[in-house]
Amino acid sequence: MDILGFLTTVVPTAFFYAAPLIFTAVGGAISERSGVINIGLEGLMIMGAFVGIVFNLLMGPVIINAFGSGFGGDLTPWLSIIAAGIIGGIFALLLALASITFRADQVVSGVAINFLALGIGIFFIKEVFGAGQTDFVDHPFNTTSIPLLSEIPFLGPIFFERTFYTNWLAVIVAVLAWYVMFKTPFGLRLRSVGEHPHAADTMGINVNRMRYIAVGISGVLGGIGGSVFALTVAQNFSASTISGQGFIALAANVFGKWHPLGAMGAAIFFGVAQSLSVISQGIPLLDAVPGIYLQIAPYVLTILAIAGFIGRAEAPKALNQPFIKGTR
């Protein structure tokens, strides 16, 4: 197997697994930079996958009726992830309400969110479809070659053939999040309420409102992440559609040191790790490694990373601390 062949096998698969993680991990970074731990990312992804699939199944025919099968078919998955993003954002406000307004332990309310999403999803699926899982969607995202870019020698076949537009959307979102977070006044405020909310408050920043916005954005991105996973990888929804991707995204955020681009890098790394355990059989040397090591590698590496063996990571100082005006 030559290098080009190897890369055109590994990279698209890794990228395909990484994209949902990028969306969600960047959302996690935004939430945690504002001082709210988001253990609920898993639940937000579940919500997103659920809404994405259900919207796709129920609204697909309607959209096709309105726009014709060609354009309507292409439009359906995009509208599905938008719907998932909106519902994800609204759902995340529950987490915000508990963690910010009612000063709940953020980890515990995150755990509750995870349970709640799964309960709602499966309850609804059973009500509407009469079974524990939905049918497969007719309008998932399909692989495409991106025009022009796929013509680039060497890089084209690796990155721009057999790829998804959502993969590249994920990259754009990460870069945009980096720009907003580190180059705009809004980003400065966001980071300041996560580092020193009382100082931010003194400067006239509405701490709780900033946190609500941040958690809301993480909900939108988590919802999109979950729906992208559902509409590219799983293509239906059941209790096991999202099984740990949210926690991996959480880890990617920590691994990436609460930085959107770092989170993206870590998500790609985890995508590679996940894809390796899927495609390792076809790759020389790797097929000799027992699958278990590849399976646990992302988790072990995350522990090593946060233990400081792979560069020191400094969490936002006010993480997991409710802001109570007038105290110090």
Partner 1 sequence: MGLQRLNSLTIPLVSIVFGLLAGAIIMLLFGYNPVEGYLALWEGAFGDKYFTGETIRLITPYIFSGLAVAFAFRTGLLNIGVEGQVFMGWLASVWVGTAFQLPTIIHLPLAILAAAIAGGLWGFIPGYLKARFEVHEVIVTIMMNYIALYVTNAIIRTYLAEAGGESTDNVAQSASLKTNWLSEFMGYSNVHWGILIALFGALVIWYLVERTTLGFEQRAVGFNRYASKYAGMNVKKNIIFSMVISGGLAGLAGAMEGLGTFGYMALHSGFTNIGFDGIAIALLGGNTAIGVVFAAGLFGMLKNGALNMQVGAGVPPELVDIVTALIIFFVAAGFMIILLKERIIGFFNKDKKQSKNQKEGK
For binding to partner 1 (CB under 8 A), which residues are involved? 37, 39, 94, 97-98, 101-105, 107-109, 111-116, 118-120, 122-123, 126-127, 240, 243-244, 247, 250-251, 254, 290-292, 295-296, 299-300, 302-303, 306-308, 315
Give burial (CB, 10 Å; 0-12/13-18/19+) of 246. buried
CB of 103 to partner 1, least distance (A): 5
Give burial (CB, 10 Å; 0-12/13-18/19+) of 193. buried
CB of 292 to partner 1, least distance (A): 4
Q: What is the dihedral of CA 255, 258, 259, 263, to 10 degrees?
A: 40
Residue 327 is classified by DSSP as -
At 126, list the tokens: 């059973």
Alpha-carbon span 283 to 11, nearest angstrom: 13
Residue number, 115 or 186, with CB nearest to partner 1:
115
CB of 136 to partner 1, least distance (A): 19
Residue number, 53 or 116, with CB nearest to partner 1:
116
Alpha-carbon span 64 to 20, nearest angstrom: 26
CB-CB contact of 53 with 230 (8 Å): yes
CB of 302 to partner 1, least distance (A): 5
Residue number, 64 or 249, with CB nearest to partner 1:
249
Residue number, 66 or 304, with CB nearest to partner 1:
304
* Helix, strand or coil, per DSSP, at residue 241: coil
Alpha-carbon span 42 to 227, nearest angstrom: 12
Q: Which residue has the tokens 């959502």?
A: 166
Residue number, 148 or 292, with CB nearest to partner 1:
292
Residue number, 110 or 265, with CB nearest to partner 1:
110
DSSP string, 62-99: HHHHHH-HHHHHHHHHHHHHHHHHHHHHHHHHHHHIII
CB of 322 to partner 1, least distance (A): 9
Residue number, 64 or 251, with CB nearest to partner 1:
251
CB of 219 to partner 1, least distance (A): 15
Alpha-carbon span 141 to 177, nearest angstrom: 24
CB of 100 to partner 1, least distance (A): 10
CB of 285 to partner 1, least distance (A): 20
Residue number, 158 or 273, with CB nearest to partner 1:
273
CB-CB contact of 81 with 231 (8 Å): yes
CB of 47 to partner 1, least distance (A): 12
DSSP string, 159-205: IISSB-HHHHHHHHHHHHHHHHHHHSHHHHHHHHHHH-HHHHHHTT-
Nearest by Cα to 258 from 164, 187, 161, 202: 187
Residue number, 279 or 294, with CB nearest to partner 1:
294
